[in-house]
Amino acid sequence: MEGSSGFQSPMQARYQYLYQQPPLPPTGQTPRFQGQPPPNNLPSQPPLKTLKWTDEMVKLMIIAISYIMEASITSPDSKKTTQKPTLVSKETKWKVISTVMSERGHNVTPQQCEDKFLEINKKYNQLIGLLGRPTSCEVFKNPILLDSIEMPETLKHEARKLLESDQFYYREMCSLHHNNRIFIPHDWEVMKLVFLGLEGNKWDDLRARRARLEDKKLELQEKRLELEKDRVKWLCLDQNEKMKVEKMRLENEKLKFENARLAFELKCKGMVVGDDEN
């Protein structure tokens, strides 16, 4: 009955939850509709900070790079032992350096290591390009000598900026480029990590190379099968052509015999006609 609050139809009793009004939200909050995801009340994550390279980190990276440059393999020979440089891929190189840095508590990615090295190597090469190797070495030891060098002031200004820039590792980079350890100390633990990393990645590289060779092998086999199919196709076509030619030859032979038979019959008829006339 309409207007009676105590009476519910069977349909209303079964789907009572549909007739219930949702509770009102607290004052100051926006109501949320059914199916709408709850608001994210978690605090927003702070943006990633730019990696701060310390002198310790850069020098550790240079030490690791020096050991990679010194890495060599021994090729056994019956008469002598020769040293050949190990071919280290770019990806493997920075992966190993990143691992060494992580072992020392510096979580840097291979790309960050490469970017930082390119930065300091660029500064070194720029100074070499401005002053030359011998002069740049003397000027680095005594920057006052830069005033006595005959060169445009703009170039002198660029050289001063490089000499006064932060993290300008001229001595370490000079040792690195000349393959010596005058300004790069030994670190046996780093050397161990580098060679273990190179050894492990060497097998990874070999497995990857083997996989590439297997893929190339399958590709060549596929091409060989395609060529074999083409060869069989052309053989069939050639055989068909030969059969056609042979058929034409036999037909020509048949025509020759037919012509000879007709000629013989005509000759015989001519002889019979001559006898009749006589």
* C-alpha torsion angle, residues 65, 70, 74, 79 (rounded to 10): 170
Per-residue model confidence (pLDDT) at position 209: 74
**26 φ, ψ (degrees, to nearest 5):** -60, 160
pLDDT beyond 70 at 106: yes
Q: Model pTM greater than 0.85?
A: no
**Residue owning tokens 């280290």:** 88
Mean pLDDT of 43-57: 70
Mean pLDDT of 8-35: 52
Mean pLDDT of 170-194: 93
DSSP 115-173: HHHHHHHHHHHHHHHHH-HHHHHHHHH-GGGGGGS-S-HHHHHHHHHHHHSTT--HHHH
**44 φ, ψ (degrees, to nearest 5):** -65, 145
Share of the chain above pLDDT 90, in %: 36
Per-residue model confidence (pLDDT) at position 39: 52
**Residue owning tokens 């840097």:** 108
- How does residue 27 score in pLDDT terms, banded at 50, 70 and 90? low
pLDDT beyond 50 at 107: yes
Task: For the chain, state the CA radius of gyration.
Answer: 45
**Using CB atoms within 10 A of its CB, is residue 112 exposed (0-12), middle (13-18) or buried (19+)?**
middle
